[in-house]
Amino acid sequence: MLENTKFDQILEKLSRTVAGRTSRRGFIGRVGTVLAGAALVPLLPVDRRGRVSRGAHAAAGTREGWKPQDTDVTQCDYWRHCSIDGNICDCCGGSLTNCPPGTRLSPSSWIASCFNPGDNQSYLIAYRDCCGKNVCGRCGCLNTEGELPVYRPEFANDIIWCFGAEDDAMTYHCTISPIVGKA
């Protein structure tokens, strides 16, 4: 026969005391509450200002290493492309504000605040996909300034925004970068 140690006796007494004061339903309910609460933690707002560089670019509200320019719209470092994820329409037969011929403008967009080094102002840019043709494949950029997770879709550039277009225009082609206003 097994010998009961002092530890076993204390553990048994503690277990019986807890069992006498609680019910299974109450315990399961508390565990469920804790699990549900833990699942909601990622949805809480987070202050992401710490991602901004404290150096020379902090005044412009940009990330470290991002040096926007305002001369060549076909380059990924053009100031309006601070949060673009896709192909620049200027390289595909369109412009900063117009889709190329044969494509349709997506009815939805994502937004970002981009700093223009030419006038030292920040502007809201509403990135919109041009849909209906195969991917352009030229001037592909992946900039993530101000990007947030997909549960905040208005700030997520990883989504193909052609989902609201007509049936024959669901294929992504390129992205335009019109200014909405000053930030």
Extract the annotated binding site: 85, 157-159
51, 53, 115, 123, 130 from 120: Cα distances, Å = 21, 17, 7, 10, 29
Catalytic residue among 110, 119, 167, 168: 110
Please give the Cα distance from 116 to 19 (Å, whole number): 66
């380059």: which residue's tokens? 75
85-87 and 121-131 strand pairing: unpaired
Residue ranges of the binding site for substrate: 85, 157-159
- The answer to whether residues 169 and 104 touch, using CB atoms and an 8 Å cutoff, is yes
129 is catalytic: yes
Catalytic residue among 8, 77, 79, 129: 129
79 is catalytic: no
Tell me which residues are annotated as active site: 110, 129
